[in-house]
Structure 1
């Protein structure tokens, strides 16, 4: 597959539009090729200079506008909404488990990063400021959040956190793999670590993030895909925040031949360490910056992936995590973990829309092979729309003379018959 066709596949998948529209995607070759270059990691030097603009999202919007204009009068524009229940954007919360303890001498050495009380309790052996699973779960339960926790396979004694792992599982958190150094290019090592964690957890591992965000385009994706992982969420900046590949949506990354993989990439937008270590932000300015990025992603109905390290919750900076949840979690957002978001995106991608226009009548068939629920459907026309018949599993959310919003509630299939007048 060439750059243009890979870009086209990502366009169709992300916008959620049917193959029928392919002939109306005209004059877009340069933009499609540019999208592909961003997503395969060719333009990272450019995005690093201007990291706060999601350039691929911008390109998608521009092309989508042209597609709508190019459609003939008797063919409505039909697309799938991005997130469940018409949520405006998605928020993926995740935590890397780099360490679960440190020596008292180390804590004393970096004591300025903690409050005096936290340091005192640590030195007296009353509490461990590096083990915060319980505190994370308590905070997240308050906001209805189920996040992802990525574990290194050989870094700590799992017996010492067996109760915490059991609680994470009981709270339906996503337990994933934090790939150690070298696994980003070594399939055997990655599978070895994955299988070790699966044995410890007693369940399958679905997602990963490479330690220190180590990544090699496109080799790491290929290694992860061949390791039977559902998703990765490594691709993001270490030393800044923003859109490393210009994109704030899940997508199917390319292999060496530019064919989309089964693996899903959830681009990382903010890592907590970048806020404090590299950008040197105050807690107040960091909170404002996070909200500004949220506003941009919400504008494009995209995916906002955040990494907040498990060991930082009691540190200066890291302690604002509760405020971050307070500012971000509301009725407009679909907030979940990496596994649930990746499953949603895969099921959405599999959902098929087939349009049969005959004269002034339109029959739209929906096929749902992966049993997705509460998927929004938008229908826009250049003429007035009248509903002739509609399946019982399609719920009308909003109707104007030329636009229709429906929710596909559940089921294997559905059908809608329209008349254009």
Structure 2
């Protein structure tokens, strides 16, 4: 019942359109003249299109910078703005230099979005706003893409209700889970090496006596036979307590650091061989225990396809099957070239898109997405990184930042991707870091998050995206058609205000609110596409 009349050959705008409908889980069909449908007009819709939502396409005005805001939310805004009448109900404003301008307006049965929303989201997704470091300005935890898309979803839902019909969307995550959380570990090294020099020197420069004492205690433990960076047993115990499984990305650096140049130690002085019996036994044991194994691409591999493919092939050989995931060392990305090489090498997903200096969302989204190239979307999925341990301040300040990000992801319904290096689970050298990780995962789970490995997240998202769920609503009957093998799939149904629905008793209902239902499709699926009928009465 959602019709899209969009005329654009711009790949950036096409990327924004594709991402929106895939992420929102909204079934859409090309333009037809069905008067009962909600038609979204973008570009130049046909004259006979019963447009209910108009989205500005390439406004001719100058770009303005300010804030886009409604009753209880604010988002950064930097776009051209079409003039729009205030004659109807203003749903959102843009504030520029203490002046406000209407941005989203409902006038009768038509809703107008006065900026090129698909161009803005597409620009983020295509790397036009990409920067590896957040820097001090702005709030890196703002989900710009997700915020803009949530606005459009609310407009579509409102337009459906103005038509007197329900709004239906595929749920983001399996069954009754409202978000997802994934714990990953970049295995940069198996033993502590140059850090025996650099960390004491750092604490001396900082005048940190407690830090120096921790290094001394760690050295005593090393002399006693306990390797300070081999913390895999501690991670596995934590995972068992949380009833989760982690994803481990293993590094094999081929370039040697220069002994007299300490600046190369951090990027090149890491693990140089996975051929030792201890390393290979660890990798196989983790895989056997249900943890996921992936590639931590070496420092230069983000720009070297042969090196990338060779590193993948080695880990494939160790575990006896093809690994599907990668994260580049130091989060190095050449957008979109690195993604193209990863896809060519046979990876299913990457999870390198994160800030190097602060927690936050480098791509403006916390949802998986297919990176865009000049020739269209890649089969590779990007799973955006949200929090990396070394960017989190210590003590209570770190928890507050992590909780804020986790709460934003939960409110958006997205993916909380975490990176905790194995070394930080050493309580002598990094007191509290492991506990913070466990606390953050429990917090996400308490809010309904599905805890899964990165590979499971990628596999789920690909299956969800390919499941064609369509719906129609007419004469008080809602028909939802879904494919075979709809295991774990669910749909959200929002009724117009004051309406009621008769949900058959045979249907499993996860959420039952006054105007909102989430129902399971899996128990109803059959060998052929299935249509479910739900009767509703408009208030």
State TM-score, norm by structure 2.
0.70
Q: Residue in 1 aligned with 2:459?
A: 343
Do the aligned partners of 2:143 and 2:366 also contact (CA within 8 Å) in 1? yes
Distance in 1 of aligned mates of 2:304 and 2:486: 34
Distance in 2 of aligned mates of 1:248 and 1:52: 10
The residue aligned with 1:180 is 298
Give 3-state SS (helix, strand or coil) of 1:86's partner: coil
**Bigger relative CO (Cα 8 Å, ≥ 6 apart):** 1
The residue that corresponds to 2:39 in the other structure is 23
Aligned mates of 2:250, 2:510 — CA distance in 1: 42
Q: How far 1:309 moved relative to its partner?
A: 1.1
Q: Which residue of 2 aligns with 1:384?
A: 499
Question: Which residue of 313, 325, 333 maps to 2:438?
Answer: 325
In the other structure, the counterpart of 2:121 is 35
For residue 155 of structure 2, what is the aligned residue in structure 1? 66
| Paired residues of 1:347 and 1:372 also in contact (CA < 8 A) | no
Distance of 1:127 and 1:173 partners within structure 2: 24
Pair 1:293-2:409 in alignment: no
1:85 match: secondary structure: coil
The 2-side partners of 1:171 and 1:143 are apart by: 15
Alignment counterpart, residue 215 of structure 1, candidates 333, 336, 342: 333
The size of the alignment, in residue pairs, is 409
> How far apart, CA to CA, are the structure 2 residues paired with 1:186 and 1:346?
27
How has the CA–CA distance of structure 1 residues 401 and 129 changed in structure 2, closer, same or farther, with 3 Å as cutoff? closer
Match of 2:20 among 11, 14, 28: 11
The DSSP-based 3-state class of the residue aligned with 1:352 is: coil
Q: Does structure 1 residue 271 correspond to structure 2 residue 388?
A: yes
Map 1:51-62 to 2 at 5 A. Answer: 51-62=140-151
- CA distance change for structure 1 residues 402 and 322 in 2, over 3 Å: closer, same or farther? closer
Structure with higher Rg: it is 2
1:249 aligns with 2:367: yes
Secondary structure of the structure 2 residue equivalent to 1:234: coil
Residue 367 of structure 1 aligns with which residue? 483
Matched, 1:94 2:184: yes
After TM superposition, give the deviation of residue 139 of structure 1 in Å: 1.3
The alpha-carbon distance between structure 1 residues 404 and 367, as it changes in their structure 2 partners (threshold 3 A), is same
Aligned with residue 356 of structure 1, among 468, 472, 482: 472
- 1-structure distance, mates of 2:510, 2:453: 27
Q: CA 1:295–1:317 in 2, change beyond 3 Å: closer, same or farther? A: farther
Measure, in 1, the Cα distance between the counterparts of 2:432 and 2:514: 50
Indicate conservation of the 8 Å contact 1:344/1:372, yes or no.
no
Match of 1:126 among 225, 236, 248: 225
Q: In the superposition, relative to structure 1, how do residues 376 and 235 fare at CA in structure 2: closer, same or farther (>3 Å)?
A: same
Q: Is 2:11–2:374's contact at 8 Å kept on the other side of the alignment?
A: no
Shift of 1:322: 2.7
Q: Is the 8 A contact 2:183 2:417 kept in 1?
A: yes
- C-alpha separation between the residues in 1 aligned to 2:143 and 2:431? 26
The CA deviation string for residues 344-392 of structure 1, in whole angstroms up to 9 with x for no partner, is: 1111111111223444433211114xx45322211123273544868x5
The separation in 2 between residues aligned to 1:271 and 1:225, in whole angstroms, is 24
Local SS of the residue matching 2:371? coil
Distance 2:228 2:397 in 1: 24
1:85-142 deviations in Å (ceiling 9; x for gaps)? 3223211111101111134x852663537464332111x1411011111211111111
Match of 1:156 in 2: 273
Kept after mapping to 1: 8 A contact 2:12/2:126: no
User: Could you say if the C-alpha distance between residues 350 and 311 of structure 1 is closer, same or farther in structure 2, counting changes exceeding 3 Å?
Assistant: same
Q: Is the 8 A contact 1:91 1:304 kept in 2?
A: yes
List runs of 5+ in structure 2 lacking aligned partners: 1-9, 30-36, 42-52, 58-115, 201-210, 254-271
CA deviation vs aligned residue, 1:205-239 (integer Å, no higher than 9, x gap):
01000111110111111111122211100011111
Q: Is the 8 A contact 2:248 2:292 kept in 1?
A: yes
Distance 2:228 2:491 in 1: 47
Contact 1:86 1:375 in 2 (8 A): no
Distance 1:66 1:129, change over 3 A: same
Any gaps of 5 or more consecutive residues in structure 1?
A: 276-280
TM-score normalised to structure 1 length:
0.89
Counterpart CA distance in 2 for 1:381 and 1:340 is 32
